[in-house]
Amino acid sequence: MTNINQNMQELPEPSSLLQQQTQRFLAWLQQRIDQAGGKITFAEYMQHALYHPEFGYYMHAKPKFGQQGDFVTAPEISALFSQCLARQVAQVLENTAVTDIVEFGAGTGVMAYEILQTLIKLKVKPKNYYILEISPELQKLQQQRLSGLDTDINVIWLNSLDDLSLNAIILANEILDAFPVELFKVDETALLQAYVMFEDNKLETLFSEKLSDDFSKEVEALRKHYELTAPYLSEVNLQSRAWLKSIKSCLQQGVIFLIDYGFPGHEYYFPGRNMGTLMCHYQHLAHENPLLFPGLQDITAHVDFTAIAEQADELGLEIAGFSNQANFLINCGITESMQELPENEYFDVVQKVKTLLMPGEMGEIIKVLALISNLDLELLGFKNNDQRHRL
Q: What is the pLDDT of residues 293-313, one digit of tens each?
A: 999 999 999 999 999 999 999
Say which residues have a Cβ less than 8 Å from residue 140's Cβ, sequence separation at least 6.
none
Q: What is the pLDDT of residues 186-245, one digit of tens each?
A: 999 999 999 999 999 999 999 999 998 889 999 999 999 999 999 999 999 999 999 999
Q: Strands, DSSP E only, in the chain?
A: 40-41, 100-104, 128-132, 154-158, 166-173, 182-186, 191-199, 202-208, 232-236, 251-263, 279-282, 285-287, 298-300, 303-304, 318-324, 366-373
What distance in Å separates the CA atoms of residue 54 and residue 42, rounded to the nearest whole number? 19
| CATH no. of 16-390 | 3.40.50.12710
Domains in the chain: boundaries? 16-390
What distance in Å separates the CA atoms of residue 200 and residue 178, rounded to the nearest whole number? 29
pLDDT beyond 50 at 2 = no
What distance in Å separates the CA atoms of residue 206 and residue 83, rounded to the nearest whole number? 45
What distance in Å separates the CA atoms of residue 262 and residue 267, rounded to the nearest whole number? 9
Q: What is the pLDDT of residues 55-104, one digit of tens each?
A: 999 998 888 887 777 889 999 999 999 999 999 999 999 999 999 999 99
Q: For residue 240, what are the CA distances in angstroms to 10, 42, 112, 304, 336?
A: 34, 16, 23, 10, 35
Find the distance separating the first CA and the last CA of the chain, reported in whole Å: 22
Q: What is the pLDDT of residues 146-191, one digit of tens each?
A: 998 878 899 999 999 998 999 999 999 999 999 999 999 999 999 9
What distance in Å separates the CA atoms of residue 180 and residue 348, rounded to the nearest whole number? 36
Q: What's the mean pLDDT in 37-52? A: 97
Strand pairing report for 251-263 and 366-373 = antiparallel
Note the pTM of the prediction, 2 decimals: 0.96
**208-213 long-range CB contacts below 8 Å, 24 or more apart?**
208/39, 212/41, 212/182
pLDDT beyond 70 at 9 = no
Confirm if 284 and 4 have CB atoms less than 8 A apart: yes
What distance in Å separates the CA atoms of residue 360 and residue 99, rounded to the nearest whole number? 37
Instruction: State the pLDDT at residue 195.
Output: 97
The backbone torsions φ and ψ at residue 362, rounded to the nearest 5 degrees and listed phi first, read: -95, -15
Instruction: State the pLDDT at residue 3.
Output: 41
pLDDT beyond 70 at 6 = no
Instruction: State the pLDDT at residue 151.
Output: 80
Instruction: State the pLDDT at residue 5.
Output: 38
> Predicted confidence band at 8 (pLDDT cuts at 50, 70, 90)?
very low
Facing residues of 157 across strands?
131
Q: Strands, DSSP E only, in 42-126?
A: 100-104
Give the chain's mean pLDDT: 94
Q: What is the DSSP letter of 176?
A: G
Instruction: Reduce the DSSP state of residue 320 to 3 states and report it.
Output: strand
What distance in Å separates the CA atoms of residue 69 and residue 73, rounded to the nearest whole number? 11
